[in-house]
Amino acid sequence: MSSSEEEINFYSPKFDALKALNTKDVKVPCPNAPILDNISKFEMNSEGVVSIKGVKEKKDEKMEVPQPSTSTVKEEPKIERFLPSQGLLTVKRRPVRNILTRMEVMSGPLEQLRICMELRRRVKIITRRAHQIRGFCEGFVEAFDKHWNLAVSDVREVWSRKKSNRCNTSEYGQELSKEQCERMRRLVGIRVPNIVKHKITRKREDCERFVSKLFLRGEHVVCVILL
C-alpha cells in the first residue's frame, strides 16, 4: 500500500483527515453511520462502549424482566414523620355573629318580637317626639336588635303635626311653598309618599301615609302592641 493510500485509509496510523476530505472516491468504513457536526455528541460509558448522546439503545426483549402487577404488591405502611404533639394546631374559631344570629337568641320581650316576625303578625308601634307622643305605625317586623331599632315593611303611619302652609326647605334664605317643593322633587326624581290629612283644626292636623319599608330608631319607640 502506497503512502498516499495510507493517508486516506481510516484504519491506518498515517491517516490524514484533511487529505481524505479533499480526495474523491474515499471509501467510508460505515456508509450508514449518522452524520454528526460535533464530536462532543459521542460519549463513552463505564464499559468502554461509545454511543451517541440522546439516542437510546434498544434493549434486548429477552433481557427484560416482567414487573409484578400492582395488585400483588403490598403497600408499605406510612411512617409518621411528626409526633402527635408536633402536628397542626387546632384553633377554635368563634361563630359568626351578626344581627341575624343575634335575633335567634333573644329573650324576654324581644323574644316575643321575634315570634311575631316569624309568624308574620302585624304589630302597632307607638312613636314619640322629644316631649310627647307623635303617633303610631302598623306593619310587619323584618329585623330588630337589642336597642329596639326596627325595620318594618308594609307600613301604615299615622301622626299629628302643627298646621303649616310653608315648607321647611329654603333656598338662598327664602322659604318655599309646598307646591314649589313638590315641583323641585319631581325635577330631581325624588318620590315622597302621598300624605292624606284626616282631621284638620286651626293649629294641628292628623296625617296618614303608606310606606313600603321604614326604619325606626329605638329612641323613638315607646311600645310595641301585637295586633
**How many angstroms separate the CA atoms of 120 and 103, rounded?**
15
Verdict on whether the full-model pTM lies above 0.85? no
What residues does each domain of the chain span?
Answer: 99-163+193-226
Question: Tell me, what amino acid is at 158?
Answer: V
CATH class, domain 99-163+193-226, is mainly beta
* Contact (CB, 8 A) for 152 and 213: yes
Rounded distance between C-alpha atoms, residue 62 and residue 59, angstroms: 9
Mean pLDDT, rounded, for 206-213: 91
pLDDT in tens, 95-115: 888 888 888 888 888 999 999
Is the model's pLDDT at 171 over the cut of 50?
A: no
pLDDT digit string, tens, across residues 27-62: 777 777 766 666 666 666 666 666 666 666 555 445
Size (the chain), residues:
227
Percent of the chain residues topping a pLDDT of 70: 72
pLDDT at 128 (0 to 100): 93
- For the chain, where are the alpha helices, taking DSSP H only? 3-7, 17-22, 99-104, 109-119, 178-188
Closest CA to 111 of 156, 144, 80, 153: 144
pLDDT of residue 191 exceeding 90 = no
